[in-house]
Amino acid sequence: MRDESLLALAYRGRPGTITELAHLSHRPVEEVRDAVARLRNRGQIGGRDGDLDYTNPADWAAESVAARATELRNNAQDLLGEMERIVATLPEMIGHWSVGQTSQDPIPVVTRHGLRASEDVWFEFGQRDAGTLEAVLPDITRFLTSPEERVARFSEAFRSKDAVRVILSKASVGDAAVQPLLLAFTAAGMEYRFMDDPPSWFWVDGAQLAVPYEWGEGRPTSVISVRNAALSGIVSAYFASLWQRAEPSIPVAHPWTPLLSLMRKGMTLDTASRTIGVNPRTGRRRIAQAMNHYGVSTLFALGTAWAADADSSSSARDSATPGPLT
């Protein structure tokens, strides 16, 4: 039995001693003692001497990535590989952990199954009114069979976020039938990038994240969702590394673009926000993001910088003279 298999068994059964773990695994005590020593060295199990204590996968992953980041800070590619390896093992380890979890465990785990599990879990646990949603969706063709009401709910939820960043498969968006769906989500403020072969479906939204039962699935029907800030931070960092490697769409759709377009026509920020279907608070957050993006501090300067950027792109518009925003 591999160390990982023994760890999974320990997570599920939570034996209190090495002797109990040996009995549970039907392995010699000395063999189990050696395996426990190796797992302790990696920080995946705790306790002293013959007693066992358990470290939840979120804490172990956070500490492991932090340690490896220090060791490999001069080799980003090695760090990325190590981070991907850790993230890829999380679904299985979290699944085993959830079997033995108690109400005192600091890592609440939920599971959902079914054809719409990957959508349902976000509607149930995703943050609605703020923050950045980051997702890798290797296969979005399933949305083509989603009821219109469900697609509308997604669009409405996206409009309330500060930003929605999604990595898609190039193959998935090659279908012409997908284009109207992409246009609807783009109008809601979603920003896309593309990869030839995304590693797996997953998303992270604040402290909440979701991964498939089997890492690598692009259209999972069994999903694990966890609320844990440390673990979400790791997955978000992993997403950021994928985002840097992914190819941007041309032109990139920023969430503030619809607002600035309307404000250039004389609308106030509040009116422009309501016109595109977001509340003024969300509109103000998006304008703040735009100011940070362009490195300006006033609406007038933002209008000038954004217009210059738009005029220099391939989608230069009908307005030749930059003007203030109202």
Supply the DSSP string of 212-266, one letter for each residue: ESSTT-SS-SEEEEEE-HHHHHHHHHHHHHHHHHSEEPSS---TTHHHHHHHHTT
pLDDT for 297: 87
Residues 6+ apart with CB under 8 A from 240: 134
- Are 166 and 272 contained in the same domain? no
For residue 16, tell me if it sits in a domain. Answer: yes
pLDDT for 293: 86
| Count of residues in the chain | 326
- Are 297 and 235 contained in the same domain? no
Q: What percent of the chain has pLDDT over 90?
A: 3
For the chain, the average pLDDT equals 76
CA dist 279 and 267 (Å) reads 15
pLDDT for 323: 47
By mean pLDDT, which of 101-105, 143-147, 294-298 is the weakest?
101-105
Q: Give the three-class secondary structure for 132.
A: strand
pLDDT for 167: 92
The pLDDT tens digits of the residues spanning 200-236 come to 889 898 888 888 888 888 888 888 888 877 778 878 8
- Are 193 and 165 contained in the same domain? yes
The residue range of the domain holding 126 is 109-248
CA dist 27 and 49 (Å) reads 18
Q: Is it the case that residue 316 has pLDDT exceeding 60?
A: no
Give the CATH number for residue 25: 1.10.10.10
pLDDT for 252: 47
- Are 145 and 262 contained in the same domain? no
Top pLDDT among 303 and 174 is at: 303
The number of folded domains in the chain is 3
Q: pLDDT class for 319, splitting at 50, 70, 90? A: very low
Q: pLDDT class for 271, splitting at 50, 70, 90? A: confident
pLDDT for 91: 67
- Are 156 and 203 contained in the same domain? yes
E strands within the chain? 45-46, 53-54, 109-113, 132-137, 163-169, 190-195, 202-205, 208-212, 222-227, 247-248
Q: pLDDT class for 11, splitting at 50, 70, 90? A: confident
- Region 141-153 average pLDDT: 74
pLDDT for 132: 83
- Are 152 and 238 contained in the same domain? yes
Q: Is it the case that residue 99 has pLDDT exceeding 50?
A: yes
The pLDDT tens digits of the residues spanning 149-176 come to 777 777 777 777 778 889 998 877 666 7
Q: What angle do CA 241, 282, 130 make, to 5 degrees?
A: 50
Distance of alpha carbon 6 from its chain centroid, rounded? 29
Q: Determine the residue type at 314.
A: S
- Are 265 and 242 contained in the same domain? no
Q: Which of 243, 203, 182 is nearest to 120 (CA)?
A: 203
Two tokens, residue 70: 């220090």
For residue 60, tell me if it sits in a domain. Answer: no
pLDDT for 136: 93
The pLDDT tens digits of the residues spanning 239-259 come to 888 888 888 875 545 778 888
Residue 192: what are its φ and ψ, rounded to 5°?
-110, 150
- Are 229 and 303 contained in the same domain? no
Rama region for 26: left / alpha / beta (φ>0; ψ in -120 to 50; rest): left
pLDDT for 17: 92
Give the CATH number for residue 133: 3.30.870.10
Q: pLDDT class for 312, splitting at 50, 70, 90? A: low
For residue 157, tell me if it sits in a domain. Answer: yes
Q: pLDDT class for 72, splitting at 50, 70, 90? A: very low
The owner of tokens 């391939």 is 314
- Are 115 and 243 contained in the same domain? yes
- Region 28-52 average pLDDT: 86
Q: What percent of the chain has pLDDT over 70?
A: 74
- Are 294 and 239 contained in the same domain? no
